[in-house]
Each structure stands twice: as C-alpha cells, then as structure tokens.
C-alpha cells in the first residue's frame, strides 16, 4: 500500500523584515534621544570661573547667544517679552531664581539689557551661569 506523503513545509522563519524594523527603530530612538529640551538648545560658550557654585532653587533660564539675541525656553524674545515671561514665572513661583546664560563673546550691553528686563519684572534673585574651571591655582597668582 502506497501512502502519499505531502512534502514538508519549510518551517524556517524569515527574520530579515524583523531586522529591518529593529534597525529603523534603533535609528529613530538614536535620533530622538539626541534632541535636548530647555534652554540648552541654544549653543553658547559660557565663560569660566573657579568660584562657581551650583544652584538648586527653582530656576528661570534666560539664554543670550553670541549675537546678543535673548531666548526663553528656546524661543527668541525681546526685552519686553522677557519682562512679561519673567513676571508670569515670578507670579507662579514667588521664590524664583533667574539664571542668565550669556555667551562669553556677547557684548556687555546685551547682558545688562537682560538684567534690566528681569529686574523690572520684580525678580530679586538672579545669577550668571559660568563653567567651573578645574584649575588648582588661585585667581590672580602667576
């Protein structure tokens, strides 16, 4: 008696489409995670200082780029918009500490303009952001 056997199907799983999908997901997450949020989106070179101290209070960050343009939360603002945004943040957080991140090549006048706008909003606590140097020689020594 002859039994007709069906040929067995190949049970191999084709993983090439799966590898393609995972590669695309990997690229997607690599690109998305490189996006930064907050005020550090504006590339600036901070001045260096040895006596820099970290602040832990609630902060409102104003960034001034090397051309003198001011930014709050990544959006470019003028002095009046900065004053209004600072006043709104101060209303929400009465103990607000404003940090001004100014590029080391920016004109002094732009920094003073930002300080004036922040002070006119009623802020009493503000600081200037710097990078801490790791030098062990005290300032002023040769």
pLDDT digits (tens, 9 = 90+) for 15-28: 888 899 999 999 98
* The total number of structural domains that make up the chain: 1
Q: Is 96 within the bounds of a domain?
A: yes
Summarize the confidence of residues 108-115 as an average pLDDT: 91
CATH value at residue 99:
3.30.420.270
The dihedrals phi and psi of 40, each to the nearest 5 degrees, come to -75, 5
Task: Report the pLDDT value the prediction gives residue 77, as an integer from 0 to 100.
Answer: 92
Q: Is 44 within the bounds of a domain?
A: yes
Q: Is 31 within the bounds of a domain?
A: no
Nearest to 104 by CA among 69, 65, 62, 133: 65
Q: Is 113 within the bounds of a domain?
A: yes
Task: Report the pLDDT value the prediction gives residue 55, as an integer from 0 to 100.
Answer: 64
> Is residue 117 within 8 Å of residue 82, measured between CB atoms?
yes
Q: Is 61 within the bounds of a domain?
A: yes
pLDDT band at residue 38, thresholds of 50, 70 and 90? Answer: very low
Summarize the confidence of residues 49-73 as an average pLDDT: 79
Task: Report the pLDDT value the prediction gives residue 142, as an integer from 0 to 100.
Answer: 45
Summarize the confidence of residues 81-91 as an average pLDDT: 91
Q: What is the largest CA-CA distance in the chain?
A: 106
Q: Is 77 within the bounds of a domain?
A: yes
Q: Is 80 within the bounds of a domain?
A: yes
pLDDT band at residue 39, thresholds of 50, 70 and 90? Answer: very low
Burial (CB count <10 Å: 0-12, 13-18, 19+), residue 66: middle
Greater confidence (113 vs 11) lies with 113
**Strongest mean pLDDT among 34-43, 113-122, 131-140:** 113-122
Residues with Cβ < 8 Å from 68, sequence gap 6 or more?
Answer: 106, 107, 109, 110
Report H helices in the chain. Answer: 16-32, 79-92, 108-120
Task: Report the pLDDT value the prediction gives residue 21, as an integer from 0 to 100.
Answer: 93
Q: How far is CA 74 from CA 35, 65, 132, in A?
A: 12, 11, 24
Q: Is 3 within the bounds of a domain?
A: no
Structural domain of residue 109, as residue ranges? 38-132
């Amino acid at each position: 008696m002859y039994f007709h056997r069906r040929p067995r199907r190949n049970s191999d799983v084709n993983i090439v489409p799966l590898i393609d999908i995972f590669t695309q997901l990997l690229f997607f997450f690599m690109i998305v995670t490189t996006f930064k949020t907050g005020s550090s989106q504006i590339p600036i070179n901070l001045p260096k200082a040895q006596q820099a101290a970290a602040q832990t209070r609630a902060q409102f960050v104003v960034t001034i780029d090397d051309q003198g343009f001011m930014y709050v939360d990544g959006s470019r603002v003028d002095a009046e918009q900065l004053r209004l945004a600072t006043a709104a943040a101060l209303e929400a957080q009465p103990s607000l500490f404003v940090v001004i991140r100014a590029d080391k090549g920016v004109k002094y006048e732009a920094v003073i303009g930002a300080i004036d706008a922040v002070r006119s909003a009623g802020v009493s606590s503000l600081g200037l952001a710097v990078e801490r140097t790791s030098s062990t020689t005290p300032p002023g020594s040769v």
